[in-house]
A and B are shown apart, each in its own frame.
Chain A
Amino acid sequence: MRKVAVLGVGCTKVGEHWKRSLRDLFVEASLRAIEDSGVEEIDGLYVSNMASGPLQHQEHLGAVMADALAVNPIPAVRVEAASASGGVAFHEGVKAVASGMSDFVLVGGVEKMTDRLPPEVASTLIMSEDQEYTAYTGVTNIGLSAILKRLYMDRFDVKPEEIAMLPVIDHENAASNPYAQYPFKTSIERVLNSPMEADPVHLLECSGIGDGAAAVVLGPANESETSDHPLVTVSASAVATDTLNLTNREDPLTLRAVRGAAEEAYARAKLTPRDVDVLEIHDEVSILGVLSLEDLGFAEKGKGASLAASGAISLSGETPTNTFGGLKARGNPLGATGLYQIVELTWQLRGEAGKNQVDGAEVGLAQNMGGVGSTCAVNILRREDL
């Protein structure tokens, strides 16, 4: 297997792009990544997207985007794993380059959520769960997270204030991210005074509805001379799954897919959570970020929220997390989200993160999840020359 490098990265701002189509966003992010990489010809395209079918009535995104980029006849395919699509597409791209089946691959994620009204978006999001027995109850994705949050607070005697630290940290970091959907600070009081979305989850604990695209160019690490950036390579890329329905999990508060992907990634990279200098977690709803911190090995079960409250995952803490705003404040354009994480980690490892820079960051980990943890991708990146 060849060592794979992240040669180029690019993204659009996450937001309400009323004038711009799925194609417009995808092409902008892709051209930025290609230009950043210095690569002249790509020979494979992976498009990550969750819901262009229900949202735009557009399928076949591999062909749509290969055409939009004028890269025919290269092979192109769409990867869908709900909001883990980006992390899983990255994994597929890494496999293609590592195996030698492809040399220079573009992995681009895009989602355009604002073409629909919020209740239609809620109907689309819940397509990540069992239609006949979960969506059928009328529950929303946020509602499923709320069920976990209530169970969590009851079992571990955790206060809402501790969990509310996650969105506060996200917003703090997003304030200096020009690509963030919500670039402003918030407070625990504001989070807990925001309306109930699905009790006991408040509106400001949830990622919003936004459009965006993010892309990366991958290539063999020993052919990285086209790039004039410090070299960032992929130390490990792992994907794991868990039962689709929460009802079939022995303990709904343990995200087994997160554990599984993390264990495999740490083993392949020969690293432990202590080696991670900069972290991206999938906090689509804050409680999912808390559980992820635990199942990734950064906190014991029941201690994820207090880890956030301790300052350990703030920008100045031991493991700076979601340094560009995370799902809550950078935004969560579903299929693109996992690639925003990779783009941001790459900026950190290259030392190009500006005001959000974590000094001397050498190892970065991105965790991207689909559904309520039924798919999880864990990707570990490393700066090579340090």
Chain B
Amino acid sequence: MSVPRYWREIKYRYRLLGCMCKECGSVFFPRRHICLKCGSRDLEEVKLSERGRVVSYTVVRNPPKEYEKYAPYIVALIELGDGARILSQVVDCEPEEVHLGMEVEATFRRVREDGPSGIIEYGYKFRPVIS
């Protein structure tokens, strides 16, 4: 992973920034240049809701190479409070505990390492909301 490639996504990953269409109000993550709903090119960065619900999920047991030491882990399709959807790992939770509709909130975690001497990547993961 090159440093600039990681660096240019930091803002969006660390702060959970997506974008909103100024024409039709649709919210997207990740950010994009053209609205998928109405075709408008007038989109602005917005901070996404940090809370949402699990729409569906899986437990990855045979992961890609860079993620081997984390397995097994939960990856969920999450609908955020503002209607945007995001794919994310769900942590602080065992595979038996996660369920459809579960309320989750964003948290900041280590994501992967680029070998013993490369950069360590961080970013969002979600965890169960503790009420």
Contacts and interface: CB of A to CB of B under 8 A. Distances in A.
A126 interface: yes
B100 A150 contact: yes
B64 A138 contact: yes
Contacts of A133: 29-30, 87
Query: What band does the interface of chain B fall in when counting residues whose beta carbon is under 8 Å from A?
Result: 35 or more
Interface string A125-150: 01000101111111110111011101
A143 B75 contact: yes
Contacts of A200: 58
A245 B87 contact: yes
Chain B interface, DSSP helix/strand/loop, else mixed: strand
A154 B100 CA distance: 9
A135 B123 CA distance: 13
Nearest to A152: B56
B36 A248 contact: yes
Contact of B60 (A123, A139, A252): A139
Interface in B25-82: 28-30, 36, 55-68, 70, 73, 75-77
A137 B56 contact: no
B56 A138 contact: no
A154 B66 CA distance: 31
A41 B64 CA distance: 43
Contacts of A136: 111, 123
A246 interface: yes
A236 to B, nearest CB: 28
A246 B77 contact: yes
A198 interface: yes
A120 interface: yes
B64 to A, nearest CB: 4
Contacts of B60: 138-140, 143, 198
A267 interface: no
A137 to B, nearest CB: 5
A160 B52 CA distance: 28
Given A150-B100, A154-B100, A138 B89 contact: yes
A162 interface: no
B62 A147 contact: no
B63 A199 contact: no
B86 interface: yes
A122 interface: yes
Contacts of A73: none
B9 interface: yes
A252 B29 CA distance: 16
Contact of B75 (A147, A148, A247): A147
A40 B9 CA distance: 53
A277 to B, nearest CB: 36
A354 interface: no
Contacts of A144: 58
A181 B76 CA distance: 32
B33 to A, nearest CB: 14
Interface of A: 118-120, 122-123, 126, 130, 132-140, 142-144, 146-148, 150-151, 154, 195-201, 243, 245-248, 252
Complex A-B, nearest 3 residue pairs according to Cβ-Cβ distance, in ascending order:
A146-B58, A247-B85, A123-B64
